[in-house]
Each structure stands twice: as structure tokens, then as C-alpha cells.
């Protein structure tokens, strides 16, 4: 079967759905809308008078494609229901009625745990604005089996949007572990849309079609193997490299835990199977754990950021004086957190004014909205005539905004009622698969220092011989790094020890726990930097709060690379 992704996040390209229906020749279109941050955004929207807790952009896509899907027999599966899948299912029915189209709509619920937090481990402190267990694919499969044309869910795993339709189509049992694991891998590849088809790809020279990348399609076979491709005539690239990049995105240890199956990423085999076609095979699966992951979001207070621009000479002295003057006006201890970062973009004897500037970026957090808001930003503006030479700010005074705190947790499966509501209104509890018991720690698999090349080396950027893709997993940052050949991988796995990673990432990672996992089948290593993002994207004060640029920063670091790896580079 052919499953086409039409959304990688809430806010992705709207016309991807219409493009997929018209050109993709697919059996199912699926869309992922629910990043960890999105649940906080939807909770805020739901709390407003008349607010809804689902992704509105999905309805716009449904308006555009519903008729075409019905005519072509294409099913629609999306997790856009967020915190109100039943409400979204009703909204889809309203769209269908307005277009005089008859469709059967089902939804999946049971992930929202706000009504009873007692079983969550570790225990929940306070009252979160969202608390959602990551459900699996079986509710989707049962809805499709019952004849649903559209299935909307709340918080299911991203890969479930592929696993559910594949399990329905091929009739997989709960314990078809290898087939299910193969579908998880296919789902992980296409869940972020064009990141699998050349988007965010580090080797830009490999992409000869620079048009907006087409969204990906997974052709999933009965044994769980798949081919990743894209609609004919669309831009971008599908190659072993682009698929590898997405496979390494936002993962941890090789045993990728899920609610339906544990997929072992160290068993994946990739092969270029034609132009814009990459075959995935060999994936092994095993039973999932007896707990489900839970994502908790709580209101953390208020935050505000102001940036002072420093130009020309004596940048560090100017920054120190500005900080001293600011906290002479304001009591530093009155804030819960103060983050001061001097960002150096300046260069000596710059050829233009912007090239001579640096930024002093100050972020404050606290419970007092007035203090964090205009009291803070107005205090910075007060320095305009009595501070350092050339003072100006990058923005006018800003007000405080609420921020959230993300916490990962777990819940026993028995405490969650995974429910599918079929098109006729029948409610059905979805059975759990056999499980493996408690989650077991996975040991860091890469050697902590191995044999280094004794031959000649040259100092070049790491990215000369390695690709990388990075992202966030709650408060942790993930960087997947891969080589182009076996020799490059052998060097990477010995070179990129946890200690080396800390050195290359600099001061902000110097004291953090770093794990490095080896994935020889992908010629890759996966790095997890624990705690780099604090309490998650909504709370992080880093300029890059989701660590999206961290991999490219790592690639830019100059290191000693064996010359034999540089042939042709």
C-alpha cells in the first residue's frame, strides 16, 4: 500500500495535501500535527472562550481534498485531534455536510489523562495543562477495518499514522513484530514530511532539483519492508542520505520503544532502488514495554527577552557595563531565572556596520508578569542615554509571555483506556499487545575512545566527511551523524566519544551527560546530550531552543581528519 504524508507539524505547507491527492496515487494520506510544544499551544487555545483543542489547519486541508479522496477511495488519517479528537471528528462531518459529501468519520481517544493523574510515574507535581499518553496504532487499524474514511486521533505516536493503516491493509496480528517494526521505521521516515525528501539536508550540492521538496510516500509491503519515494514531478531528493538523515532524527538508543512494538534501528538496511526510491528492509521487532510514554506540559510562569546591540570596539566591556547598569535598576534576585548571553557576530575592521555588531541577549523568568514584562524591558530602554556608546536594541520594549515546562513520564498500560469511536458511534476498547515488561536501560554502544588513524591528518570541518541532523526530545538534544562509507564510519565511531562531543559543543555541554550509540548498519552514530534544553522548547533560553542547528554547528567544528577520508572532498 502507498501512504503519503501531508504534514510534518502544525503549520506545515497547506497545499501538500492537495498535491499528494492529485499526484501521489496513494491509498492513504496521513498528517502529523502534534509536536510536544503543540500540545501546550493547543491547551492554551482550548482554555480561551470558544477555543478548540485541535489543529485548525487540518480542516483547511480536508476542505481542499475531501471530494478528491472520496472519488479516489483514499483514506485520511491524522493526529490533528490534539486535545479534542471528538470535536475535530464533528468538525470534519460539518465540512463534509457543507460540501454534500457522505463520509464515515471515526476518532481515537483515551490518551488525555488530565482527569486522573494518579498512575503517572514519577508522580505529577501540580496541575498540568496537558497530560497525554502516547497511544499506538491499533485504534486507527480498527477504525479503518470498520469502514472509516477519515480517522482523527489525539496523541498517538507519530509512526502510528503509518503503522495503523499498514496493519489494517495487511491484516497484521499484534505479535507480527518484524512487520510492525518495519512500518514504524517507514512511519518515522515520513512523519516529518519533506525532511525525508531533501529538506534540512546538509549536503546541499546533492539536491539538483531546488524546488520545494515533494512530501514523502511510504510503499509498505506485507512483510513490513518499504520503499520511500515522493510524487512524480515534485522537487527535492530521495536518497539513502536523505532517508538516513531522517532515520537519525530525534531518536535515542537503537531499541526504539513504541506502544505497539520495539523497533531495532540497528537492523535497518537501506538501498537505493531507483531514482527517488529508497528500499528499507531487514527491520527486526520485539514486544513493547508494559508502560506508555506520557508528555506533561505545565505553566512555568512568564518570560521576556530583550537584545542590546553592541557595535565596534570594546564589546565585552560594553556588555559587562550594560549588565551592571541594568541590575542596578532591577533586583536580579527578584527573578526566578536570568540568562545573559553575549553573541559575537562582530569582526575587526568590518566592511559594514552590521558586520561590526554583537548582541547582548538577556532573558528573565518569573511569576510576576509586571516585573518580567514592561518593568524589565523599560529598564533596558532607560540605558539608552546613560549607557555604553552606540546603545540600541533589536526591538522596542516587549511584554512578558507565558512559558511552559515539559516533563516526560510513564504510565502503566492498565491505567489507560485506548478507545476507538467508530463511524456509527460505537465505542470499542482497544486491546493491548503482548509486552516485554518494564523498560530496560540500553547501554551506550559506541566505544569511549578507540583506535585512531596513525596516518596523516588534515584539519578540516567535521562536515567535510560527515552529515548530521539534530533536534529535541524534551530537555535533551539529539544529533545523528553519519559517514558516506565504511571507513568514514569506523573513524567516526572511534573519534566521537562522549568526551569529544562535550569538547566540540563547547561550554554549554561541558558538564552534561552525553551518550553515543553506534549504528553501523547506517554508518552512523547517534548522540544524546542530556539536559541541554532544560525544561523543553517552551522554556529553553537557548537562541536555538529546539537544537535544530546543533548538528550543523558540530559539522562546522575543525578537527583532524585522516587524509584517506578526504579523497574527492
Measure the CA–CA gap between 195 and 9, rounded to whole angstroms. Answer: 11
388 close to 357: Cβ distance less than 8 angstroms: no
- Three-class DSSP category at 370: helix
Q: Which helix (H) or strand (E) holds 142?
A: helix 138-145
- Rounded to a whole number of angstroms, the distance between the first and last alpha carbons of the chain is 40
Taking the C-alpha atoms of residue 46 and residue 54, their distance in angstroms, rounded to an integer, is 8
Considering the four listed CATH numbers 3.30.230.10, 3.40.50.10260, 3.30.70.2750, 3.40.50.360, the one that applies to the domain covering 299-404 is: 3.30.70.2750
Q: Mean pLDDT over residues 496-523, rounded? A: 96
Give the largest CA-CA distance in the chain: 73
Summarize pLDDT for 159-202 with one digit per residue, the tens.
Answer: 999 999 999 999 999 999 999 999 999 999 999 999 999 999 99
The secondary structure of 205-264 as a DSSP string is GG----SPBPPPEEEE-TTS-EEEE--TT-BS---HHHHHHHHTTT--SSEE--SS-EEE
pTM of the model: 0.95
Between strands 105-109 and 150-153, the pairing is parallel
What whole-number distance in Å separates Cα of residue 530 and Cα of residue 553? 17
The predicted model gives 210-226 an average pLDDT of 97
* CA pair distance 462, 13, nearest whole angstrom: 33
Which has the closest alpha carbon to 547: 470, 482, 463, 474? 470
The per-residue pLDDT for range 327-347, each reduced to its tens digit, is 999 999 999 999 999 999 999
Averaged over 384-394, what is the pLDDT? 96
| pLDDT at residue 454 in the model | 65
Grid coordinates representing 322 are: 550594560
Q: Note the pLDDT tens digit of each residue in 481-495.
A: 999 999 999 999 999
Q: How far apart are CA 113 and CA 295, in angstroms?
A: 10
Categorize the per-residue pLDDT at 439 as very low, low, confident or very high, splitting at 50, 70 and 90: confident
Summarised one tens digit per residue, pLDDT across range 223-237 is: 999 999 999 999 999
Residue 546 has phi, psi (to 5 degrees) of -105, 10
Write the pLDDT tens digit of every residue in 94-145: 999 999 999 999 999 999 999 999 999 999 998 999 999 999 999 999 999 9
Tell me, what's the pLDDT at 139? 98
Average pLDDT, the chain: 95
Mean pLDDT of 359-388: 97
Whole-number pLDDT of residue 569: 58
Helix or strand run (H / E) with residue 64? helix 56-72
* Cβ-based neighbour number of residue 185 at 10 Å: 30
pLDDT in tens, 6-33: 999 999 999 999 999 999 999 999 999 9
- Ranges for all domains in the chain classified under CATH 3.30.70.2750: 299-404
Q: Cα–Cα distance between 169 and 189 in angstroms, integer?
A: 19
pLDDT at 55 over 80: yes
- DSSP structural state of residue 375: I
Of 13, 38, 15, 81, which Cα lies nearest the Cα of 472? 38
Label residue 375 by pLDDT band (50, 70, 90): very high
Joined together, the cell numbers standing for residue 548 give 535544530
Rounded Cα gap, residues 304 and 396, in angstroms: 12
Q: How confident is the model at residue 455 (pLDDT cuts 50, 70, 90)?
A: confident
Amino acid at each position: 500500500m502507498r501512504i503519503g504524508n501531508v504534514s510534518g507539524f502544525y503549520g506545515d505547507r497547506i497545499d501538500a495535501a492537495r498535491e499528494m491527492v492529485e499526484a501521489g496515487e496513494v491509498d492513504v494520506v496521513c498528517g502529523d500535527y502534534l509536536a510536544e510544544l503543540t500540545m501546550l499551544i493547543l491547551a492554551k487555545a482550548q482554555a480561551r472562550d470558544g477555543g478548540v483543542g485541535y489543529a485548525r489547519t487540518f480542516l483547511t486541508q480536508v476542505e481542499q481534498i475531501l471530494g478528491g479522496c472520496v472519488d479516489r477511495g483514499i483514506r485520511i488519517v491524522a493526529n490533528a485531534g490534539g486535545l479534542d479528537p471528538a470535536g475535530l471528528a464533528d468538525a470534519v462531518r460539518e465540512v463534509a455536510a457543507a460540501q454534500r459529501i457522505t463520509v464515515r468519520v471515526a476518532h481515537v481517544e483515551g490518551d488525555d489523562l488530565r482527569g486522573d493523574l494518579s498512575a503517572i510515574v514519577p508522580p505529577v507535581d501540580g496541575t498540568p495543562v496537558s497530560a497525554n499518553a502516547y497511544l499506538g496504532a491499533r485504534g486507527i487499524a480498527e477504525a479503518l477495518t470498520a469502514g472509516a474514511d477519515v480517522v482523527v486521533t489525539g496523541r498517538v505516536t507519530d509512526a502510528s499514522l503509518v503503522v495503523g493503516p499498514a496493519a489494517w491493509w495487511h491484516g497484521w496480528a499484534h505479535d507480527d513484530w518484524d512487520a510492525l517494526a518495519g512500518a514504524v521505521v517507514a512511519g518515522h521516515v515520513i512523519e516529518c514530511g519533506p525532511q525525508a525528501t531533501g529538506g534540512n539536508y546538509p549536503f546541499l550540492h546533492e539536491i539538483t532539483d531546488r524546488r520545494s521538496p515533494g512530501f514523502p510516500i511510504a510503499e509498505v509491503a506485507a512483510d513490513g519492508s518499504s520503499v520511500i519515494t515522493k510524487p512524480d514531478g515534485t522537487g527535492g531528493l530521495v536518497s539513502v542520505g536523505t532517508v538516513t538523515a531522517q532515520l537519525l532524527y530525534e531518536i535515542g538508543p537503537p531499541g526504539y520503544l513504541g506502544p505497539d512494538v520495539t523497533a531495532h534501528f540497528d537492523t535497518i538496511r537501506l538501498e537505493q532502488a531507483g531514482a527517488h526510491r529508497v528500499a528499507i528492509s531487514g527491520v527486526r521487532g520485539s514486544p513493547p514495554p508494559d508502560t506508555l510514554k506520557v508528555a506533561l506540559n505545565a505553566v512555568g510562569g512568564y518570560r521576556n527577552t530583550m537584545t542590546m546591540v553592541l557595535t565596534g570596539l570594546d564589546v565585552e566591556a560594553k556588555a559587562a557595563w550594560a549588565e551592571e547598569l541594568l541590575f542596578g535598576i532591577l533586583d536580579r534576585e527578584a527573578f526566578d531565572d536570568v540568562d545573559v548571553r553575549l553573541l559575537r557576530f562582530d569582526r575587526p575592521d568590518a566592511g559594514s556596520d552590521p558586520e561590526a555588531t554583537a548582541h547582548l541577549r538577556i532573558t528573565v523568568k518569573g511569576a510576576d508578569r509586571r516585573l518580567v514584562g514592561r518593568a524589565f524591558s523599560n529598564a533596558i530602554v532607560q540605558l539608552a542615554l546613560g549607557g555604553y556608546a552606540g546603545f540600541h536594541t533589536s526591538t522596542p520594549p516587549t511584554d512578558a509571555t507565558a512559558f511552559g515546562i515539559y516533563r516526560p513520564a510513564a504510565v502503566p498500560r492498565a491505567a489507560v483506556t485506548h478507545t476507538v469511536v467508530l463511524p456509527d458511534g460505537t465505542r470499542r476498547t482497544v486491546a493491548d499487545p503482548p509486552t516485554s515488561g518494564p523498560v530496560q536501560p540500553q547501554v551506550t554502544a559506541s566505544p569511549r575512545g578507540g583506535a585512531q588513524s596513525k596516518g596523516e591528518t588534515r584539519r578540516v570541518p567535521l562536515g567535510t566527511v560527515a552529515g548530521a541532523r539534530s533536534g529535541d526530545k524534551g530537555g535533551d538534544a539529539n544529533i545523528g551523524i553519519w559517514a558516506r562509507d565504511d571507513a568514514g564510519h569506523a573513524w567516526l565511531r572511534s573519534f566521537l566519544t562522549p568526551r569529544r562531543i562535550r569538547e566540540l559543543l563547547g561550554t554549554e555541554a561541558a558538564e552534561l551527560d552525553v551518550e553515543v550509540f553506534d549504528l553501523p548498519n547506517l554508518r552512523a552514530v547517534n548522540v544524546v546530550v542530556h539536559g541541554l534544553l532544560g525544561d523543553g522548547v517552551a522554556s529553553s533560553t537557548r537562541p536555538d531552543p529546539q537544537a535544530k542547528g546543533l548538528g550543523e554547528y558540530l559539522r562546522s567544528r575543525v578537527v583532524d581528519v585522516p587524509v584517506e577520508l578526504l579523497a574527492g572532498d
